[in-house]
Amino acid sequence: MKELESSSCRRRVALLCDYLDGELSASSRRLVAAHRRSCLPCAQVLASLERTVRALKRVKRGWRAPAASRRSLAAALRAASARRR
Ligand SMILES: [Zn+2]
């Protein structure tokens, strides 16, 4: 069974944001989608981000995650993978 290191998850945090922004190439989107299926912490973070982004986009079109959100996302991912150990 393949184990993903938390460091590889952290490298994907920026990808997750771009994924939600719809700014990734098709190959990068496939990478994120595949990781999401194999990594529960990332799947949970993505699901909650998607809910947030959808809600915000209803209010304001063209919203992008600010730098602070990207940092708290990284922290959430670290906490999630630490809990799994
Ligand atoms: Zn992950």
Cβ contact 82:42 at 8 Å: no
- Within a domain: 75: yes
Give distance in angstroms: CA of 16 to centre of ligand 1: 10
Give distance in angstroms: CA of 12 to centre of ligand 1: 7
- Within a domain: 1: no
Domain that holds residue 36: 6-83
**Token digits of residue 42:** 């990332």
pLDDT tens digits for range 37-73: 988 888 988 898 888 878 877 776 655 667 777 778 8
Give the position of tokens 């947030």: 52
- Within a domain: 61: yes
Q: Over 60: is that where the pLDDT of 77 sits?
A: yes
pLDDT tens digits for range 12-40: 777 787 888 888 899 888 988 888 898 88
Give distance in angstroms: CA of 1 to centre of ligand 1: 15
- Within a domain: 35: yes
Q: In angstroms, rounded to a whole number, what is the distance separating the alpha carbons of residues 17 and 46?
A: 9
Cβ contact 49:20 at 8 Å: yes
Dump strand ranges (E) for 1-85.
Answer: none
Give distance in angstroms: CA of 23 to centre of ligand 1: 19
- Number of domains comprising the chain: 1
Give the position of tokens 């063209």: 62
- Within a domain: 26: yes
pTM as predicted: 0.53
